[in-house]
Chains A and B, each alone.
Chain A
Amino acid sequence: MEECGDTNITLREFGCEQSLLSRPDGSSSFMQGDTSVLAGVYGPAEVKVSKEIYDRATLEVVIQPKVGLSSVRERLQEQSVRETCEAALLASLHPRSSLTLVLQLLHDDGSLLSCYLNAACMALMDAGLPMSCLFCGVTCAVNAEGQIITDPSAAQEKESRALMTFAVESTEHRVIMSSTRGSFSVHELQQCIAVSQKASEKIFQFYRDSVRRRYSKIL
């Protein structure tokens, strides 16, 4: 599940399914170990005049927690997911239209923000929205001994000294988004970025295999 040696990065078992909902234009469900998220995309659709942007599509992200109403914590996550998606989408191809991305949390067992990002990317691909690159989310936890754990579970996150989530893009493996909790040194940050970039290669290969499986029926 967890530890990172020099070349060995282990991630939990991934599962993904696309086009599972009939109403949204694109949908996906993404599972990392026990953490599971459902995503739905609507768009390009009509937009309210107050929200329209003259040269790009307006992207709105809504994150629904498992129980209760969404709170301030979800707003920060929504801002991160939204700006990451805007960096990857070619929004200028659909001016004055709206794209809505809804993420529903089904179960949280750690690495939540990266699971949101992965589900979002698969749903956007499923909806056929034009994208300039793919992105994936990787979470790293630094535990008390200074070891780096990728894709931590909830128990590992609680014991960690620092928790970092990065969104990595597919063309040059650079970091688009970073969100951190806890205090850490510069060296640890650089190590985690390197580890995330290595882990992202595995995730992008997983995306490729999932999409290939999906299209194998019509090939």
Chain B
Amino acid sequence: MAAGFKTAEPLEYHRSFLKENCRPDGRELAEFRTTTLNIGSISTADGSALVKVGNTTVICGIKAELTNPTVEAPSKGYIVPNVDLPPLCSSRFRPGPPGEQAQAASQFIADVIESSDVIQTEDLCIERGKLCWVLYCDIMCLDYDGNLLDACIIALLAALKNTQLPEVTIKPEACTPEVNLEKRNGLLIHKHPVGTSFCVFDNSILIVDPTAEEEGLSSAHFTVVTDEGDRLCSVHKPGGTALSGEKLQECISRATARQREIQKLIDKVIQSVKAAE
């Protein structure tokens, strides 16, 4: 009978749970789904990570290539993120060129990378004006169950921490770069940005880490990205109903707590991988 009510009146179904301060899957309003992390799973990539936030599964692979730096920034390398939402992850995505959600997510990740200074792009430069690294980050969603942006940011951060760049020396006589694939150095990660997504129901009830159903029924959704210095790297609210100042403050405190949890998780996983080697 509950299944019938859920199909016929999904909003009322969710409201009846929210009145009791809980959600259909049994979580509290401010509780996250279980987050699991696996790094280094793609051996052909220079760095990779697989994240599961509840059912939402996102994998990130990083490939490093050598290229000429751009004319505007001759002493900097660059990072090119790309978020892909294939038809595999959900029936709402059709095959073909990337849709608006995927493109907006790619641009959002690029903005977060730039705003938070995860990597100093000067570190990617090998020789000023001539040679630099470009990191292609391919983030692919394997299972879409809401809260895509958070999972993408975690996957990207973990993959960057896992990335090992080969050493490049430039022989002065030959003027060609020599890549030593045996000797690899990790990337220097300066900041650890972590995103937290929220949804607003009926202009007043705030929930954290929405599932795909909850996202569809909400009246507004937004994402806050914080880093370890308690600084905000991005407050992304594309629209929807308005939000008051106090609610925003609550969300930011929840986001900072989440940032610590995730940073601990990533460090733990990386330690365990190092210990296993």
Q: How far is the CB of A209 from chain B (nearest CB, A)?
A: 25
Q: Is A169's CB under 8 angstroms from B242's CB?
A: yes
B233 interface residue, CB < 8 Å from A? Answer: yes
Cβ–Cβ < 8 Å partners of B120 in chain A: none
The one of B111, B114, B252 in contact with A186, judged by C-beta atoms closer than 8 angstroms, is B252
Ordered by A's residue number, 18 sampled pairs between the chains whose C-beta atoms are within 8 Å are: A72-B103, A73-B107, A75-B100, A75-B107, A76-B108, A87-B242, A162-B115, A169-B242, A175-B237, A176-B240, A176-B242, A177-B238, A179-B236, A180-B232, A181-B114, A181-B234, A183-B115, A183-B232
A7 interface residue, CB < 8 Å from B? Answer: no
B104 interface residue, CB < 8 Å from A? Answer: yes
List chain B positions with a Cβ less than 8 A from chain A.
100-101, 103-104, 106-108, 110-111, 114-117, 220, 222, 227, 230-245, 248-249, 252
The one of A75, A87, A174, A189 in contact with B235, judged by C-beta atoms closer than 8 angstroms, is A189
Interface 1/0 per residue, A160-189 and B, CB below 8 Å? 001010010100101111111111111001
Closest residue on chain A to residue B227 by CB atoms = A183
Given A175-B237, A193-B245, 10 more A-B residue pairs with CB atoms under 8 Å apart are A76-B104, A86-B239, A87-B239, A175-B242, A176-B237, A176-B242, A178-B235, A178-B236, A181-B115, A189-B232
Q: Which 6 A-B pairs have the closest CB atoms?
A: A83-B239, A174-B242, A75-B103, A76-B107, A84-B239, A178-B237
Q: Give the one of B107, B237, B238, B241 with max A CB within 10 A.
A: B238
Cβ–Cβ < 8 Å partners of A73 in chain B: 107
- Could you say which interface size class chain A belongs to? 20 to 34
Q: How far is the CB of B258 from chain A (nearest CB, A)?
A: 15
A190 interface residue, CB < 8 Å from B? Answer: yes
CA of A85 to CA of B110 in the docked complex: distance in angstroms?
A: 25
A151 interface residue, CB < 8 Å from B? Answer: no
Q: Is A79's CB under 8 angstroms from B235's CB?
A: no
Cβ–Cβ < 8 Å partners of B244 in chain A: 174
Closest residue on chain B to residue A61 by CB atoms = B100
Q: Is B239's CB under 8 angstroms from A75's CB?
A: no
Q: How far is the CB of A86 from chain B (nearest CB, A)?
A: 6
Q: Is A185's CB under 8 angstroms from B239's CB?
A: no
Q: Is A83's CB under 8 angstroms from B240's CB?
A: yes
The one of A79, A162, A177 in contact with B100, judged by C-beta atoms closer than 8 angstroms, is A79
Cβ–Cβ < 8 Å partners of A172 in chain B: 242
A78 interface residue, CB < 8 Å from B? Answer: yes
Q: Give the one of A178, A189, A190 with max B CB within 10 A.
A: A178
CA of A175 to CA of B239 in the docked complex: distance in angstroms?
A: 9
Cβ–Cβ < 8 Å partners of B242 in chain A: 87, 169, 172, 174-176
Q: How far is the CB of B208 from chain A (nearest CB, A)?
A: 18
Q: How far is the CB of A175 from chain B (nearest CB, A)?
A: 6
Cβ–Cβ < 8 Å partners of A175 in chain B: 237, 242-243
Q: Give the one of B222, B235, B236, B243 with max A CB within 10 A.
A: B235
Q: How far is the CB of B244 from chain A (nearest CB, A)?
A: 7
CA of A84 to CA of B238 in the docked complex: distance in angstroms?
A: 7
Cβ–Cβ < 8 Å partners of A174 in chain B: 242-244
Cβ–Cβ < 8 Å partners of A179 in chain B: 236-238
Q: Is A72's CB under 8 angstroms from B245's CB?
A: no
Q: How far is the CB of B175 from chain A (nearest CB, A)?
A: 35
A104 interface residue, CB < 8 Å from B? Answer: no
Cβ–Cβ < 8 Å partners of B231 in chain A: 183-185
A19 interface residue, CB < 8 Å from B? Answer: no
The one of A75, A178, A183, A189 in contact with B117, judged by C-beta atoms closer than 8 angstroms, is A183
Cβ–Cβ < 8 Å partners of A184 in chain B: 231-232
Q: Is B230's CB under 8 angstroms from A185's CB?
A: yes
Interfacial residues of chain A within 36-58, with CB under 8 A of chain B in the complex? none
Q: Is A177's CB under 8 angstroms from B227's CB?
A: no
CA of A185 to CA of B252 in the docked complex: distance in angstroms?
A: 11
CA of A162 to CA of B117 in the docked complex: distance in angstroms?
A: 12
Interfacial residues of chain A within 93-150, with CB under 8 A of chain B in the complex? none
CA of A179 to CA of B153 in the docked complex: distance in angstroms?
A: 17
Q: Is B107's CB under 8 angstroms from A72's CB?
A: yes
Q: Is A72's CB under 8 angstroms from B106's CB?
A: yes
Closest residue on chain B to residue A197 by CB atoms = B245
Q: Is A78's CB under 8 angstroms from B241's CB?
A: no
